Amino acid sequence: MILITGGSGHLSSLVAARMERLGLDYVVGSHAARSADGRRRRIDFDDPATLDFSGIDTLFMVSAGYGEDDVVIRRHDNVVSAAETCGVRQLVYTSLIGGGDHLGFALAHRWTERRLRASGLSWTILRNGLYAELIAALAMPENGVIRAPFGDGSIAAIAREDLADAAVTVLTNPASHIGRIYELPGRRAWPLSQFAREIGAEYRPASLEEARRGLSSPPLLPFQPAMLMSIYSAVSAGFLADTLGDLEQLLTTDPRDGLDVACRAVARSGG
Ligand SMILES: NC(=O)c1ccc[n+]([C@@H]2O[C@H](COP(=O)([O-])OP(=O)(O)OC[C@H]3O[C@@H](n4cnc5c(N)ncnc54)[C@H](OP(=O)(O)O)[C@@H]3O)[C@@H](O)[C@H]2O)c1
């Protein structure tokens, strides 16, 4: 039996839909679920009492990364500890691409990878690239102008659906992926100026200082400005442009085009 955490999230929903189509044996954990109901159970990383993984062979642990490092580390430690106690055979963790080491949320991912390596569990680490859909959301044009401070940097963003396909390849036959770390960037890198051209917008990048000033007021949570700024800085400095990775090993079809996915995300939002 496979358990997918973060069940109401975008990535987990895509993974669960694929598992359903393939007729695989799975359950979904969600911190928002009130109680166990059919394929759904309450799994809240913040509440160790809900982390009952008995009967689970493979745990697909989707990072619950929205928080300060100490919060995320505590959450992830709770999950790995419960998996050890409950005799989970293998844990598949959605981490962050190697090139993302300068991002504000990298530390909690690397801490979790280290915790897994030191655990008694078999593990597989999926180092996910930044989503094309996320870049589209951060570079949404206003009145035809993109002001996001990505500079001249290119980004090898990846379609969330490709990451879901890659995860399902691993979950379908977990034993053959034990001890593997897969780097999963998009297949090609594109600058924001190209994205702007494709969607018929103008790219007029703001400076990091201007962007930070714009982020300093609510409704952002206190930890969010630093995380967002780190994405702009890392892309701008060219740290997320590397397309070398392992995606093709896990996909049975050609990867989706990240730029195309980002453009369609803008079109869907009416931007
Ligand atoms: N690579 C990237 O570009 C990128 C971008 C954004 C985020 N991420 C990371 O990748 C993860 C998956 O991405 P996504 O697009 O699916 O994000 P998402 O749609 O925001 O889903 C995240 C899910 O995490 C679950 N969650 C929140 N708090 C939790 C808790 N205390 N315990 C257990 N689960 C909790 C929630 O699902 P339930 O309420 O069902 O539990 C939530 O829906 C995110 O959580 C984040 O850590 C990656």
| pLDDT single digits (tens) 186-238 | 999 999 999 999 999 999 999 999 999 988 777 888 899 999 999 999 999 99
Interval between CA 10 and ligand 1 midpoint (Å): 7
Give the mean model confidence (pLDDT) for residues 94-118.
Answer: 98
CA-based nearest residue to 19, from 245, 249, 174, 186: 174
| CA-closest candidate to residue 126, choices 141, 146, 112, 144 | 112
147 in Cβ contact with 209 (< 8 Å): no
Mutate to test the pocket of ligand 1, among 35, 42, 62 (most ligand atoms within 8 A of CB): 62
| Helix residue ranges per DSSP H, 131-253 | 132-138, 160-172, 192-198, 208-215, 224-236, 247-250
Instruction: Return the residue whose CA atom lies nearest to atom 46 of ligand 1.
Output: 65
- What is the C-alpha to C-alpha distance for residues 33 and 27, in angstroms, rounded to an integer? 13
For residue 90, the SS3 value is strand
Mean pLDDT over 246-271 rounds to: 94
Per-residue pLDDT of 112-146, as tens digits, reads 999 999 999 999 999 999 999 999 999 999 999 99
Beta carbons of 115 and 78 less than 8 angstroms apart: no
